Amino acid sequence: MSLRRRIEKSEWLAARIAGLIGGYLSLCNRRIIWKAKGLDDLQAALQDGPVLLVMWHSRSVMGALHWPVTDGPLSSLHDSSPVGRVSGALQRRVGLRPMQMSRKRSNRSASREVLKRVKEGVSIGMTGDGPLGPALEVKDAPLDWAKTTGMPVFCYAYSVSKGRRLNSWDKMLVPHPYGQGAYVFRRFGGSVQRKMNPEQIETLRAEMHQFMQNTTAEADSMLGLPLGA
């Protein structure tokens, strides 16, 4: 049986792999000298209730470690793929409350659970372009959840002076456990309404895309790096 199939069938194996990855990322988080921007704004918003957190898949790997858990819980959504299951196990390892969304059947029941958690004061985190891409293209999910929940929307991005890009669809940025790092939380100011026509939705998609790109550029610029470094 392939490793992919073994991960799909085994929560234990996914948790073991997540433990190894989590240990490495925790080491990076401790050793990298971090600069943070916008964390105070996020913490202030959490005093009033949960938020919707969006990020590009390529800049998401450190998000669970940078979320201020003491200021409010976060449930991140992941799919049932091997990478998704490892991601879910990693999120549990750092104290978050992940939710698995199925690719093959209706996610109506999972959606009800998400809304239940929001009502309980739990923030929701998701990638804007994940889990399968195309990279850097905002999918419907973050737009739908922004409309449905009415929560404030924040964007997260991180950057490091020393890291490498994986040979994956999103060219995920993985840090090295030294050097400098920066991460940003920014509140999205676009107009989100519960009822929107197709043209308004596409305008919102373009606004969110540009905002996420600007947030990523800000994290890079804090280290003197060009966008996408």
Per-residue HEC secondary structure of the chain comes to CCHHHHHHHCHHHHHHHHHHHHHHHHHHHHHCEEEEECHHHHHHHHCCCCCEEEECHHHCCCHHHHCCHHHCCEEEEEECCHHHHHHHHHHHHCCCCCEEECCCCCCHHHHHHHHHHHHCCCEEEEECCCCCCCCCCCCHHHHHHHHHHCCCEEEEEEEECCEEECCCCCCCEEECCCCEEEEEEEECCCCCCCCCCHHHHHHHHHHHHHHHHHHHHHHHHCCCCCCCC
pTM of the predicted model as reported, rounded to 2 decimal places: 0.89
- List, for the chain, all residue ranges whose pLDDT scores fall below the cut of 50: 1-4, 7-8, 105-106
pLDDT at 109: 62
pLDDT digits (tens, 9 = 90+) for 110-162: 678 788 889 999 999 999 997 788 999 999 989 999 998 999 999 999 999 99
pLDDT at 152: 96
